[in-house]
Amino acid sequence: MITIITSSLNGGRFIEKTISSVLGQSGVELEYIIIDGGSTDGTLDVIRANEEKIDYWISEPDNGISDAFNKGIRLTNGDIIGILNVGDWYEADTLKNVVEAFSSHPDVDVVCGAIEFWEKGSVQLHCNSNPEALDKETSVYHPTVFIRKSSYMKYGVFNERYRYAMDYELLLRFKRQGAKFLTLEKTLANMSLVGISYQNWYEALKEVRNVRSKYFPFYNVTYYHLLAILKNLIARTLKIVGLRHIYQAYWQSKNKRIRSGAERIRRTDRG
């Protein structure tokens, strides 16, 4: 069984697309859990309209996204857990591909893949996850991440002190402790460029710096922090002044592109 957790808070405009992309998956034994933080807009109306197909949902105040994630993990019955936030959506065959990957590689803890970033109805960026680069930056895209429940029990759940970089902290911790990653070079998820981490990118980078400071020397942490700030400023400036094509080319230059038509699976153990 694969369990998908969706956390939400006043995402009524976007949650229908997210729910539909999960419930529309086929070929897998699915459990779907929604953890709502006490929405006061139309979010709960959408959830109630789909509750016959949702295995469990709750709406109550929480202590942030990490708290919601952990609450959902504690409720799961599935062997594999994925987390999809409001506004994000899966490709039609994502869960089937993920289950097949775990079945073919029983020693793997984490499966991840490529993501497409959307804005104003069109794809802006097409990026592949790269676990090998986690020591330097946020190189694995959380909507594409699926983790064995047993691996959460072994390596731990989300650190609730983080508001933006909780996924990076968890994945870097997993990697440093020896978790095994498997990268599928196919698109697994889509994300709108309106999320909290995208909008609060500087605060997110500060949290990434704090996470890396646990494992790496000061000069290393400072160098990659300043480099990340510079890359973001350049990319966002190109976008603001209307040089969208240059912006797309620049941003994707630091990501591995998906090979056209390829369905190659690359095994990545701890480096």
Q: Which domain holds residue 173?
A: 2-194+259-268
Q: What is the largest CA-CA distance in the chain?
A: 53
What mean pLDDT do residues 217-234 have?
87
Residue 8 lies in a domain: yes
pLDDT at 261 over 60: no
- Write down the pLDDT at residue 247: 57
pLDDT at 190 over 80: yes
Distance CA 239, CA 130 (A): 24
Residue 122 lies in a domain: yes
Residue 98 lies in a domain: yes
pLDDT at 218 over 70: yes
Give which of 143, 128, 119, 101 is closest to 6, Cα–Cα.
143
Q: Which residues contact 82 (CB under 8 A, 6 or more apart)?
A: 2, 3, 4, 5, 95, 98, 145, 146, 147
Q: What is the CATH number of the domain that holds 47?
A: 3.90.550.10
Residue 60 lies in a domain: yes
What mean pLDDT do residues 185-210 have?
82
* SS3 letters across 12-31: CCCHHHHHHHHHCCCCCCEE
What confidence tens digit (pLDDT) does each residue in 28-47 have? 999 999 999 999 999 999 99
Counting the structural domains of the chain, the total is: 1
pLDDT band at 239 (very low <50, low <70, confident <90, very high): low
Higher per-residue pLDDT: 243 or 269 = 243
pLDDT at 52 over 60: yes
3-class secondary-structure state, position 7: strand
pLDDT at 257 over 90: no
What confidence tens digit (pLDDT) does each residue in 130-169 have? 999 999 999 999 999 999 999 999 999 999 999 999 999 9
- Write down the pLDDT at residue 158: 98
pLDDT at 122 over 70: yes
- Write down the pLDDT at residue 266: 39
Q: Which residues of 225-261 are buried (b: 16+ CB within 10 A; e: fewer)?
A: beebeebeeebeebbeeeeeeebbeebbeebbebeee
- Write down the pLDDT at residue 47: 97
Residue 227 lies in a domain: no
Give which of 130, 251, 139, 125 is closest to 192, Cα–Cα.
125
Residue 246 lies in a domain: no
Residue 213 lies in a domain: no
pLDDT band at 269 (very low <50, low <70, confident <90, very high): very low
Residue 80 lies in a domain: yes
3-class secondary-structure state, position 36: strand
3-class secondary-structure state, position 184: strand
